[in-house]
Amino acid sequence: MKGKRIVGGMVVAALLLGTGSLALAMRCGNKVVSIGDSKGEVAAKCGEPTFSEVVAAVTERSAGEGVVGEITETIEHWSYRQGSGSLLKTLFFRGDRLERIEDGDRIEGPGALRTPTFFPEPGATQAEILQQYGEPLRRDLVGITRQESAGGAKVREEKVERWTYDLGPGRFFKLLTFEGGLLVRVEDGERR
């Protein structure tokens, strides 16, 4: 039985290490933030993020002994640029607690942006898009999506945003749609 646990643990470790995009902690100078830290602890150790956005709200309902309870927590993304050559770090908070840390694109230099000749695949965060392409021409809140679990015990509401990029004369506008802070669709707009 012990051998199975060791092998199982090694498989899980290999899967976690193989992703390369998830981290359990992040260094800020000589301080370390880790999963479970509060927003206040992270801000005290790392300073204010380069980019932050509340992207969703999750409401959980519970009932017991004649009492019905409801709690709503925000889902927020914080991103840090830690210097040229480092990876963009995105921290995912639920309520006040850090749930996940992800590595993004490599930072190419102070303020360096890549030429917007292509756009990333769905799943990129807003901070990754800003890092790669800079500020859009427009940011519009176009709606809120709502997902409810069976029985209504859990409700998740996410912001839907559309960003418009102007790529220059004779080129099509690029329209990027985000749900919950993640890119879900890239479309061509009108030709400029």
**Over the stretch 58-85, which tens digit does the pLDDT of each residue have?**
888 877 776 677 888 999 999 998 877 7
Q: What is the pLDDT of residue 67?
A: 65
- Please report, for the chain, the start and end positions of each structural domain, with discontinuous segments joined by +: 21-191
Q: What is the DSSP letter of 46?
A: H
Residue 48 has pLDDT above 70, yes or no: yes
Strand 67-80 to strand 154-165: parallel, antiparallel, or no bridges (unpaired)? unpaired
Report the chain's mean pLDDT, rounded to a whole number.
80
Question: pLDDT per residue over 109-134, tens digit each?
Answer: 544 444 455 567 889 999 888 888 88
Strand 182-191 to strand 67-80: parallel, antiparallel, or no bridges (unpaired)? unpaired
Question: pLDDT per residue over 124-170, tens digit each?
Answer: 999 888 888 888 999 999 998 888 887 777 888 999 999 998 878 88
Take residue 28 and report the two structure tokens written for it: 């800020």
Residue 16 has pLDDT above 70, yes or no: no
Looking at 8-17, 41-50, 76-85, which range is the least confident one?
Answer: 8-17
Q: What is the DSSP letter of 4?
A: H
Could you give the CA distance from residue 123 to residue 120 in angstroms, rounded to a whole number? 8
Q: What is the pLDDT of residue 95?
A: 92
Q: What is the pLDDT of residue 2?
A: 46
Q: What is the pLDDT of residue 117?
A: 57
Q: What is the pLDDT of residue 18?
A: 36
Burial of 110 by CB count in 10 Å (0-12 exposed, 13-18 middle, 19+ buried)?
exposed
